Amino acid sequence: MKRSEINRIIREMEDLVHSFSFSLPPFCNWTPDEWKTKGHAYDEIRDCMLGWDITDFGSGDFDACGFGLITLRNGKAHDPRYTKPYAEKLLMLRDGQMAPFHYHWYKREDIINRGGGTLLITVFNGEQDKQMNHNPVSVHTDGLVYDVPAGTQVKLTPGESISILPYQYHRFDVLPGTGKVLIGEVSMCNDDTKDNCFFEPTGRFPTIEEDEPPYRLLCNEYPKAKD
């Protein structure tokens, strides 16, 4: 991805977040120069990969396949310094865009439509060998539990949510014509390096073509503390 595209996506997501009166933590607003001044007191942000995260999943076409994400809080399993057992994210999905099928081996997460269009979550059960099966899928939405056929698209209008279980494949889409969606995620600790199983091979963090200076640093770009 080009840095200019990443910068535009971050600004677009900032506008979307602010349009729903959601305030971001201070570290989301730091410039690259401000990051150079941050010492070890801010290691939790670095080590737990809080902040901005833009991905096209290796597709080379963010408009069709991608996510804008912000990790607001996160713990780190097996690290005694970061004992939070939970995480929270905001995500932006455009009308006409998707995020590909994947499941998590360990993480359970609630996906929430925080505002905008209608979010579609397609669900299948997954196997340990990464395959999908066609058994009915148990769906948990806002206190309601019911079974749906494999491959069902669960519709979430603003305010509605779905709880995704481990080994449950899910794909994100937007109901055409309803507009971009601001998505919330509340989950167990998030580990994008070890707990994502994609049905088809994908990339997670983009290779960046530096065609202009960064507006914000991504969560995998922070400089090490100097003190």
The 10s digit of each residue's pLDDT in 198-219 is: 998 787 788 899 999 999 999 9
The 10s digit of each residue's pLDDT in 132-160 is: 999 999 999 999 999 999 999 999 999 99
- Which pLDDT score is estimated for 9? 98
Whether 14 contacts 216, CB under 8 Å:
no
- CATH number, position 43: 2.60.120.10
pLDDT bracket for residue 193 (50, 70, 90): confident
Could you tell me if residue 226 is inside a domain? no
Greatest extent of the chain over all pairs of C-alpha atoms, in Å: 55
- Which pLDDT score is estimated for 78? 86
- Which pLDDT score is estimated for 212? 98
The 10s digit of each residue's pLDDT in 76-87 is: 988 999 999 999
Could you tell me if residue 205 is inside a domain? no
What rounded mean pLDDT belongs to the chain? 96
**Number of domains into which the chain is organized:** 1
Residue 11 three-state SS: helix
Could you tell me if residue 217 is inside a domain? no
The 10s digit of each residue's pLDDT in 21-67 is: 999 999 999 999 999 999 999 999 999 999 999 999 999 999 999 99
Residue type at 128?
A: Q
Could you tell me if residue 121 is inside a domain? yes
Instruction: State pTM to two decimals.
Output: 0.95
Residue 126 three-state SS: strand
- Which pLDDT score is estimated for 205? 82
Euclidean distance between CA atoms 51 and 216, whole angstroms: 9
Could you tell me if residue 184 is inside a domain? yes
